[in-house]
Structure 1
Amino acid sequence: MTQAYSEFAAVYDELMADIPYDAYVDIIDVATNGISGKRILDIGCGTGLLSVKLAKQGADVTGIDLSQDMLAVAEQRAQSLALPVRFKQQPMQQLDGFTDYDVAVIAIDSLNYVVDKEDVLATFHRVYSALAAGGVLVFDVHSIFKTDEIFMEGPFTFDNGHIAYIWETDEGAHPHSVYSQLAFFVEGQDGLYKRFDEVHSQRSFPIQEYVEMLMDAGFSIERIFADWEDEPPYEESERIFFQVRK
């Protein structure tokens, strides 16, 4: 997934400042007919930005992530807000030890970091087992238009005066996948910039393939929509959302 997340975890929140996490809370609220009192599994929770928002709404939240460095930031965030969110380090395709959850969420293209189709299918099966009867899974992924067209328009650059990066992209080893090399430059307290590098691989699948994998795991499809809007995907949609139920 990446070479190391230790330094990336420290700048992750600033880089994700434009992500509409409140909109994600609203999506889950609609899917579950209310968040308060629900047991929610936040898979690929990163630094816990969504986890704490759900906990503030009265949910009983458990966050799962592959990166211990991300989880350390998430735990500190929850503790600082006096929110009883639990966190556990696990790869989502090996999710284990969870039962009777009302909701599972895999937010902000976290599933795209699982690049083998067998592992995506394993993730769906394990999430299905973790949910109570009638439980809902909500997740989003990059569209294949984004992986095949938009990501290939790189390199991309970013500079907010404190953090800068150069993001180079190439086609990945799998269909509809992207191999990213990122060089970050982060300003220290002494005014000097420190560089660190990240390598990321992501892959997406056509919508129908996701549907087939979800149905193989036992889910029924309730809603597929795109780009944060309650509208069906079209050819140039960039982010595809799925709402499915056990």
Structure 2
Amino acid sequence: MDTYEVKTYTSGMSWTGLAATIWDPSGGDSEQPDQAYIQNLLTANPGPALDVGCGTGRLLLRYLAAGFDVDGIDTSADMLRICQEKAAAQGLKPVLLQQAMQELDLARQYRVIYVPCGTFCLIIDRDDAQEALRRMYTHLLPGGLLVFNLFWPYKESEPLSAEEQVEGGVWHPMWTNTLPDGREVVQSFKRLRVDRIEQVMNAHRRYQLVQAGQIVHEEIFASDERWYYKHEVVLMLEKAGFSRVQVTADWTDQPAVEPPPDSIVFMAHRD
């Protein structure tokens, strides 16, 4: 029987290793609706901006290339390394720092802070979530704004099926992507626990590196998420000091109404 190394990562390291390597090849660097929406905000609110959860630079590098002044933070050293390599290849020199948003401590304030990709949902502890909003508020210039989206937990918040309740859970294939060297990475996902009272889902993501048809390496990541509801977030923002909170759907100016959109976008101001 063939053997191979299996690495496991805690929730705080959920976007490192193979997860970071495969991010761009799996579409993580593709253009998405938030790009134009946020760029319009940067144009209308000139000044420095902060990309929270910048990852491999999907938005940050495009905005820098367009002439905007944007810094980036992320918790993943691997993603920041990839972002820096891509920036160097484009002749860009971004300011990139490894920080969690609830530990935000930077040298300057910003006109716009944006948090794309539902990244706020990755903060599991409620006190940490409130602290993240407070710190982002203090890092905004007077008149500045914060914008972020939260994904609506369709299937994720459903109770575990009978199949999923077996010991250890059940892996569900998501996609297969090819690396530049020809090897493949197969990604799978399984839910382990759903607590709809506490609004938390515990899950695992698995990345299997395949070479010549054989699995040669595997990495498993704890992938926990907390979901938040509209009025809950508005109250959290107001507690952090924000005002004039606007709630829209899917990076548009349309209201977030039934049927639920894929994501809800919050924009809040520091007056």
The reply to whether TM is greater than 0.5 is yes
* Change beyond 3 A, Cα 1:75–1:202: same
Query: What is the CA RMSD across the aligned residues, in angstroms?
Result: 2.6
Distance 1:216 1:146 in 2: 30
Letter in 1 for 2:224: S
Distance 1:211 1:156 in 2: 36
Q: Determine if contact 2:50/2:112 at 8 Å carries over to the other structure.
A: yes
Q: Displacement of 1:225 after TM fit?
A: 1.4
Q: Determine if contact 1:172/1:201 at 8 Å carries over to the other structure.
A: no
TM-score (structure 1 length as normaliser): 0.87
* Change beyond 3 A, Cα 1:86–1:191: farther
Letter in 1 for 2:25: E
Percent of aligned positions with the same letter in both sequences?
A: 26
Q: Does residue 157 of structure 1 match 2:174?
A: yes
Q: Displacement of 1:103 after TM fit?
A: 0.9
Q: Does residue 185 of structure 1 match 2:208?
A: yes
Q: Displacement of 1:244 after TM fit?
A: 1.3
Counterpart of 1:126 in structure 2 is: 135
* Change beyond 3 A, Cα 1:210–1:222: closer
In proportion to residue count, which structure has more helix? 1
Q: Displacement of 1:230 after TM fit?
A: 2.9
Letter in 2 for 1:243: M
Q: Determine if contact 2:18/2:207 at 8 Å carries over to the other structure.
A: no
Letter in 2 for 1:6: G
Count of residues paired in the alignment: 243
Distance 1:81 1:225 in 2: 34
The 3-state SS of whatever aligns with 1:49 is coil
Tell me, which stretches of 5 or more residues in structure 1 are unaligned? none
Tell me, which stretches of 5 or more residues in structure 2 are unaligned? 1-10, 165-170, 179-183
Distance 1:150 1:159 in 2: 27
When structure 1 is superposed on structure 2, of 146-155 and 196-205 the one drifting more is 146-155
Q: Does residue 107 of structure 1 match 2:131?
A: no
Q: 2:76 aligns with which of 44, 67, 75?
A: 67
Q: 2:27 aligns with which of 9, 12, 16?
A: 16
With a CA cutoff of 8 Å and minimum separation of 6, indicate the structure with the bigger relative contact order: 2
TM-score (structure 2 length as normaliser): 0.80
Q: Determine if contact 2:13/2:221 at 8 Å carries over to the other structure.
A: yes
Distance 1:17 1:41 in 2: 19
Counterpart of 2:58 in structure 1 is: 49
Q: Determine if contact 1:151/1:169 at 8 Å carries over to the other structure.
A: yes
Letter in 1 for 2:119: S
* Change beyond 3 A, Cα 1:33–1:18: closer
Q: Determine if contact 1:99/1:129 at 8 Å carries over to the other structure.
A: no
Counterpart of 1:213 in structure 2 is: 236
Q: Displacement of 1:3 after TM fit?
A: 4.5
Counterpart of 1:201 in structure 2 is: 224
Distance 2:65 2:159 in 1: 35
